[in-house]
Chain A
Amino acid sequence: MKEIYLDNSATTKVYPEVAKLMTQIMLEDYGNPSSMHTKGVDAEKYVTLATKQIAKALKVQDKEILFTSGGTESDNLALIGTARANCRAGKHIITTKIEHPAILKTVEYLASEGFEIDYLSVDNMGRISLTELEEKLRPDTILVSIMHTNNEVGALEPIAEAGALIKKKNPGCLFHVDAVQGFGKNEILPKKMNIDMLSVSGHKIHGPKGIGILYVGEKVKIKPISYGGGQQKGMRNGTLNVPGIAGIGLATELITKDLQGNRERLYELKRFFLQEVSKIDRVCINGCDPEKVEETAPHIINISVKGLRSEVMLHALEEKGVYVSAGSACASHSKKESSTLKSMGATAEEMDGALRISMSEFTTHEELEFALQALREVIDMYSRFVRK
């Protein structure tokens, strides 16, 4: 059966070049970069190269790149690490209502440690308001964390504007950006956008799972959240995951090679999909005006089908070889409704029937046509049996 994978915001297929490189490192250049012998030196070269590849894409210095186990750890280290290092300057932290649980659960924890958390609300397109941010910023605000691209609906947050605003109002306040969904699909330049810390995950950019990046600006003070052998200047202890690091380095290079071209292709596909999907009975589009797709992420589409449940559609589509996600892959663990859609003011019915379609640079027009056809058939078949 044909396999149409449209769940790239959950995870992506690894680039063959990346898999090949990692295999070679695991089987041949398996040394520990901390070892003094040649095996260690050889391994270290991969780390140096990967660091350069990433620093180049972000236009930052090599020494500002930390490797972690993934997006979640990057977010935890950024938030807990800065909160602990800067708690004397203040205990106020601002984030948004639509962050990934890696942020929301971490600030909840910080609240239990005595920090005060303020949440920015979003409009019906999932975007924060700069006015609200300005109002909430205080002299004792030590950290603002805003996601670049929302994982559930693909809303793009005004990162550059927020960065400028924060630094204007409170130069001492740090700015963290969770770019797990945004990196590799958008140009993100921390120095230009006043970003102090940036989280990136390997497996969302056709790299391996279990590896992430945290960009930490040179002047930013953070405290480690785990202790050990002093690797990565003691900020993130533990033997370096050399295959993962080499993998995310190469993936970064590959995904940013034709960033502009990929973006244009993805927007074209998104426009086409939205146009077609809006013709289907019962379907409504969440968080995106089909006339203005460029205001949203190029690769994420969120729709609701009235009267049908996401889980049922997801499995019915799966039977046809089409893989999508219900609301958000992370949210689907808990049976709770999508927090992003809720914050955007969606109705219970809209949340119940929400599907996320997420593309990658490998997604083709034909695949989308196939998926649309499958979706039409599924909706047609199962709307006969909507709940009485």
Chain B
Amino acid sequence: MFSSFLIKYAEIGVKGKNRYIFEDMLVRQIKYALKSVDAHKAVTKTSGRIFVDFEGEFDYDEVIESLQHVFGISGICPMVRIEDMEPENLYKEVVKYFDNVYPDKNKTFKVNARRSNKTYPLDSMELNATVGGALLDAFPELKVDVHNPEITVTVEVREKIFIYSEIIPGPGGLPVGTNGKAMLLLSGGIDSPVAGYMIAKRGVKIDATYFHAPPYTSERAKQKVVDLARYVSRYSGPIYLHIINFTDIQLYIYEKCPHEELTIIMRRFMMKIAEEIAKETECQALITGESIGQVASQTTHSLAVTNEVCTLPVFRPLIGFDKEDIVTISKKIDTYETSIQPYEDCCTIFVAKHPVTKPNLSVIKKHELNLNEKIDELVKIALETRETIIVSADEE
């Protein structure tokens, strides 16, 4: 019955003079998200409201599902737009609307009228009273409850009148593209896709780097990362995924450095390489899925040592999260099932039985000197031979 949706956005409203930037980006992201919905549609912005209108047949559930992936949307209201604004007609339409949406009339309700069109003959208070009266006349079982109603029927009077009563929650956050771009270090695990999702939610565009170590990691492990990037891209939009062949660097470190320091040194080089690509592709920050104390390479000492190689800010949105909390989000964004597929990633190969948990920066740096002969060349080759693919949700 609905062919229009009113899009509510929360935080954008408070961005002052920059507000239009956020709104325009939101409109763009909504259009992008609805690209694959096969129907005649229009996304329009008028005086602080965004509307999505459909003409003819369309798949309602698909639209809601798509909109729920657009950051910046706090609520989606399926609504009816009334062209004939005469009060008598308004009452008729509200009664019709209510009858359609709520087959069971044994409910409590209130009317929440908002008149931003001040030329309208009835003010908000009068609208509340008369529209409520019309509903009570039509459905005597209804009861008014202004404090705790089961149903709130909103009537917005603007250049047209909008009626809605249901608010389907959106994902919240800010429209992607309003806050620069960052490079996600994406592995096949549970954490990094969640980290990417969380930063994208703050309006940041995402690119990603994955460290592949054939033959230690398989083609399937790589496919898994591509699949994970695709899930994240349902929220973040297209992701440029850079795949680095890390095998030679890893083996070189394994050969030249103390075994317990392998992982930490490896991670330093991963950060370095990711930062190189980030700078090259105009990203302003790095993103990792690190969380304090989760593994040896994520103790506070280790994080400090890893962080030391970076000049760009490193966003670690999961830093204070427990594993359980991360798992909950990964289930919500559908990455969990993919993340737990048992393909080895490059961090687990050769991992020492007792890796250092309190690495000392000067010791690590001293041991890295063992790599002087070949490491720059290896890093250069890794960067030059990287494979870049564009991952987006609509080419599934």
Our pick among A315, A335, A387 for the contact of B218 (Cβ within 8 Å) is: A315
B214 within 8 A of A: yes
Q: What is the chain A residue whose CB lies nearest that of B342?
A: A335
Q: Is the CB of A385 within 8 A of B215?
A: no
A259 within 8 A of B: no
B254 within 8 A of A: yes
Q: Is the CB of B214 within 8 A of A387?
A: no
Which residues of chain B have C-beta atoms less than 8 A from A312's C-beta? 215-216
Which residues of chain A have C-beta atoms less than 8 A from B62's C-beta? none
Q: Is the CB of A311 within 8 A of B218?
A: yes
Q: Is the CB of A319 within 8 A of B251?
A: no
B358 within 8 A of A: no
A42 within 8 A of B: no
Q: Is the CB of B259 within 8 A of A388?
A: yes
Given A318-B215, A319-B214, check contact A311 B344 (CB 8 Å): yes
A368 within 8 A of B: no
Which residues of chain B have C-beta atoms less than 8 A from A315's C-beta? 214-219
Q: What is the chain A residue whose CB lies nearest that of B344?
A: A311
B247 to chain A, nearest CB (A): 10
The answer for the CA separation of A318 and B254 in the assembled complex, in Å, is: 23
B84 within 8 A of A: no
B120 within 8 A of A: no
B352 within 8 A of A: yes
B394 within 8 A of A: no
How many of chain A's residues have a CB under 8 angstroms from any CB in B? 14
Which residues of chain A have C-beta atoms less than 8 A from B214's C-beta? 315-316, 319
Given A385-B254, A385-B255, check contact A319 B352 (CB 8 Å): no
Q: What is the chain A residue whose CB lies nearest that of B350?
A: A387
Total residue contacts A-B, CB cutoff 8 A: 29
Q: Is the CB of B215 within 8 A of A316?
A: yes
Which residues of chain B have C-beta atoms less than 8 A from A318's C-beta? 215
Our pick among B217, B251, B344, B352 for the contact of A388 (Cβ within 8 Å) is: B352
Which residues of chain A have C-beta atoms less than 8 A from B216's C-beta? 312, 315
Which residues of chain B have C-beta atoms less than 8 A from A382's C-beta? 215
Q: What is the chain B residue whose CB lies nearest that of A333?
A: B342
The answer for the CA separation of A385 and B344 in the assembled complex, in Å, is: 17
The 8 A CB mask of A286-322 against B (1 = contact, 0 = none) is 0000000000000000000000000111111011000
A386 to chain B, nearest CB (A): 10
Q: What is the chain A residue whose CB lies nearest that of B250?
A: A385
Q: What is the chain A residue whose CB lies nearest that of B352?
A: A388
A332-388 CB contacts (< 8 Å) to partner B: 335, 382, 384-385, 387-388
Q: What is the chain B residue whose CB lies nearest that of A313?
A: B215
The answer for the CA separation of A387 and B353 in the assembled complex, in Å, is: 10
Q: What is the chain A residue whose CB lies nearest that of B251?
A: A385
A107 to chain B, nearest CB (A): 26
Q: Is the CB of A314 within 8 A of B350?
A: no
Q: Counting chain B CB atoms within 10 Å of each CB, which of A313, A318, A335, A388 scores highest? A: A388
Chain A interface residues (CB < 8 Å from chain B): 311-316, 318-319, 335, 382, 384-385, 387-388
Q: Sample 25 A-B pairs with CB under 8 A, ordered by A number.
A: A311-B218, A311-B344, A312-B215, A312-B216, A313-B215, A315-B214, A315-B215, A315-B216, A315-B217, A315-B218, A315-B219, A316-B214, A316-B215, A318-B215, A319-B214, A319-B215, A335-B342, A382-B215, A385-B251, A385-B254, A385-B350, A387-B350, A388-B259, A388-B350, A388-B352
Other than the given A312-B215, A315-B215, 13 more pairs (CB < 8 A) read: A311-B218, A312-B216, A314-B215, A315-B218, A316-B215, A319-B214, A319-B215, A335-B342, A384-B255, A385-B254, A385-B255, A387-B350, A388-B350
